[in-house]
């Protein structure tokens, strides 16, 4: 069962707008050295909406060359078109992914039955185990607990990245889920509360910058050492807040750029942080 910290990798770009493969390799290597439990390329944090299919394949291959066999690779290959999601998932598998992250179809807002059929079709034809991704703030549709539990009965639907933001809904899911079905937080700030209630870990934005700290927090929580977990959580919590001062992944990439890990480059429609927000972000730990 999936557990621990899975980093939703950023995609570093060079000043000319192309993918900075050297920076990506360095980021992945730091993740591995920090004891990360898994890597998630080309999710929202990786600016996947602005990447073409060849770039996505290149990123997965690059990550797999370094991490394959060391940690699981969960590639973002979701779409609001079922056929496209299946095709992208097959490409991700060939590029080295071990799992596929499948976001709830966005914009077209399918019914609950449509959601069910969408994910089952991908599980049966995409050739990779499926991690569901419930994020109504971006997809405009909320996957109910009953729907997730129904999908969890499928042998190839193995986990849920849960970012509904509703702890009542999350607690209900954790209380009722099968023991072999993983629930991972999709929100850094809710990682510890969710793990206290029985979640298995986090697909994290913050671990791009702070992998060791996120590993320490989640591994402590997993063995019931909540005193250690809370100490780390309280230290890093201001960053959890400020990394969403504007749209993800602009803040986390800005912070990483300030540490020389990548260039402060984004693809439209994402743009650099407002000056006042950048000042606030970079001052996160000054006090």
User: Which residues form the catalytic set?
Assistant: 133, 161
Read off the tokens for 140: 């405009």
Tokens of 287: 């006090």
Using CA atoms, how far apart are residues 221 and 258, in angstroms rounded to an integer?
30
Contact criterion met (CB below 8 Å) for 231 and 205 = no
Q: Are 132 and 102 in contact (CB under 8 A)?
A: yes
3-state secondary structure of 203: strand
203 assigned to a ligand binding site: yes
Is 73 one of the annotated binding-site residues? Answer: no
CA distance 219 to 204: 14
> Cα separations (Å) of 280 from 115, 239, 273?
40, 10, 10
Residue tagged 């993918």 (tokens): 19
- Strands, E assignment, 108-223: 130-134, 157-162, 182-185, 201-204
Distances (CA, A) of 18 to 64, 89, 95, 286: 20, 23, 19, 33
Please give the structure tokens belonging to residue 118. Answer: 């969408």
Q: In Å, how far are 32, 90, 137, 226, 240 from 207, measured between CA atoms? A: 12, 27, 21, 19, 10
Peptide bond into 269 cis (omega under 30): yes
Q: What is the rounded distance in angstroms from the CA atom of residue 254 to the CA atom of residue 38?
A: 23
Binding site, annotated residues: 45, 203
Residues that constitute the known binding site for pyruvate: 45, 203
């Amino acid at each position: 069962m999936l557990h621990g910290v899975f980093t939703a990798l950023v995609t570093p770009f060079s000043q000319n707008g192309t993918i900075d493969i050297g920076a990506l390799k360095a980021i992945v290597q730091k993740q591995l050295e920090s004891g990360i439990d898994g890597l998630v390329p080309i999710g929202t944090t990786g600016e996947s909406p602005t990447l073409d299919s060849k770039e996505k394949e290149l990123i997965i291959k690059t990550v797999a060359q370094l991490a394959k066999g060391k940690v699981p690779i969960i590639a973002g290959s979701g779409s609001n078109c079922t056929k496209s999601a299946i095709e992208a998932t097959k490409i991700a598998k060939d590029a080295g992914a071990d799992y596929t992250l499948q976001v709830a179809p966005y914009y077209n807002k399918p019914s609950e039955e449509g959601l069910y059929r969408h994910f089952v079709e991908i599980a049966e034809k995409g050739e990779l185990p499926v991690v569901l991704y419930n994020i109504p703030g971006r997809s405009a549709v909320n996957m109910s607990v009953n729907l997730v539990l129904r999908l969890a009965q499928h042998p190839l639907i193995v986990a849920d990245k849960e970012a509904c933001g509703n702890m009542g809904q999350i607690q209900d899911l954790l209380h009722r889920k099968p023991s072999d079905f993983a629930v991972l937080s999709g929100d850094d700030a809710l990682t510890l509360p969710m793990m206290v209630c029985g979640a298995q870990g986090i697909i994290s934005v913050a671990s791009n910058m702070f992998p060791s700290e996120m590993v320490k927090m989640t591994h402590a929580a997993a063995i019931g050492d909540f005193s250690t977990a809370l100490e780390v959580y309280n230290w890093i919590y201001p960053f959890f807040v400020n990394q969403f001062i504007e749209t993800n992944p602009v803040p986390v990439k800005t912070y990483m750029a300030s540490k020389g890990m990548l260039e402060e480059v984004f693809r439209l429609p994402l743009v650099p942080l407002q000056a006042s927000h950048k000042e606030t972000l970079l001052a996160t730990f000054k006090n």
